[in-house]
Structure 1
């Protein structure tokens, strides 16, 4: 049986975002957004494997500004939507949430953005590759309304610093239906900043 199910979503599993600042010669200062994922213990224990394919990030400036050239700069491709939200295409990355349930994290992308405040982060889950339960059955997994998983926590891109944005999402069983929703963990976001020259870390 084909275990692949398409999720028309921009969702996010627990996400860790690292930001390393740099400045170009005479240009606008930028930082690197490195996104990682993790999963808090919950109904993930029902799964033998739960593999998601992640395909894109989305964010927007908290001050409503756009980048100097009107787009975000990334290792993949990035574009503004309506001049505000940026979609950053990333290399398709597969993560197995069952391997992240004990607090482990997985780096999925590094993206260069201009310095400044950002309002939130979203992650696009392009596909559920494998959703095998511990009893050998296959689960139906999706995001609420097939909509983006949005983490409403502001973070800052700082020059010459690494910003780590650690967010969390987890599968939640829907009664006796056998279906699961991937949901963000509201209190699972942590933001910290590290000075790249001294390796000193502070938490926002």
Structure 2
């Protein structure tokens, strides 16, 4: 089971992150939305192997997502695998509570509360069992219309990860502190088109015997699909990503 016990500091920080995103939208987003074209963003999740073979089930709960500041360039150091899952080198980068103490790749700390990013909370929490999302299987967790634009990354707000190992025992699965999982893949919301962003993440066994949930950038995929034309025929598809 995840050791991420709720506390006031975590709740206050989460409220702060949502508030900063909302404030940025109020300052810059409302004027830009008036009369602006929209497209569809479909967000789905999948799982690369990593250490998922140790699990009978691993259910993650996702509360929403952030979009990076529209039109911003990818952050320095984020490109070409900067959010790649670290191999298990036997080191212990966690504190007594099981949270990662270093500013690990693919995570975002409070000092990196990016100005201009926007938070979208789901109407209902979405659960996905990563054991069932192997070998190319995916699960849609959200689909909505958004204003057109280019975004440098997407972050998932994962609130818990509950794991059971193949021997029936509970797994200690940690989330990266109070930070969202960050997927550094630049993508577009195109007018009258459907953008499908597949976020890939997996558990990695650490040197202390605990598992850490990390993004897998090589599995991130972005697909663009034009909406059906008036005669009912579908438009062309195009795919970005490393997989």
Same fold per superposition (TM over 0.5): yes
Give the whole-Å Cα distance in 1 for the aligned partners of 2:178 and 2:69. 24
State the Cα distance separating 1:144 from its structure 2 match.
2.8
**Contact persistence 1:149–1:183 (CA under 8 A):** yes
**1:36 maps to which residue?**
44
Residues 20-99 of structure 1 aligned to structure 2 (within 5 Å): 27-64=35-72, 84-90=116-122, 91-99=124-132
Is contact 1:119–1:154 with CA below 8 Å preserved after alignment? yes
Stretches of structure 2 lacking an aligned partner (at least 5 in a row): 15-33, 73-112, 229-233
1:123 paired to 2:156: yes
TM-superposition CA deviations, 1:79-134 (whole Å, max 9, x none):
xx876011110120111000002210000011321101011000011122x31100
Stretches (4+) displaced over 4 A: 7-10
Q: Distance in 1 between matches of 2:193 and 2:143?
A: 14
Q: Does 1:199 align with 2:235?
A: yes
| TM superposition score normalised by structure 2 | 0.64
- Assess if the C-alpha contact under 8 Å between 1:139 and 1:178 holds in 2: no
Task: Tell me the CA shift for residue 33 of structure 1.
Answer: 1.4
Asked whether 1:187 is paired with 2:218, we answer yes
Aligned CA RMSD, in angstroms, stands at: 2.3
Larger Rg: 2
Matched residue count: 169
**What is the alpha-carbon distance in structure 2 between the residues aligned to residue 6 and residue 143 of structure 1?**
7
Superposition deviation, residue 145 in structure 1: 3.4
Shift of 1:188: 1.4
Indicate the SS of the match to 2:71.
coil
CA–CA distance in structure 2, aligned partners of residues 4 and 151 of structure 1: 21
User: Higher helix fraction: Structure 1 or Structure 2?
Assistant: 2
Deviation at 1:189, TM superposition (A): 1.5
Residues of 2 paired with 1:34 and 1:170: CA distance?
20
1: distance between equivalents of 2:159 and 2:176? 14
Preserved CA contact (<8 Å) 2:58 2:164: yes
Q: How far, CA to CA, are the matches of 1:106 and 1:55 in structure 2? A: 15
Give the Cα separation in 1 of the matches to 2:182 and 2:218: 13
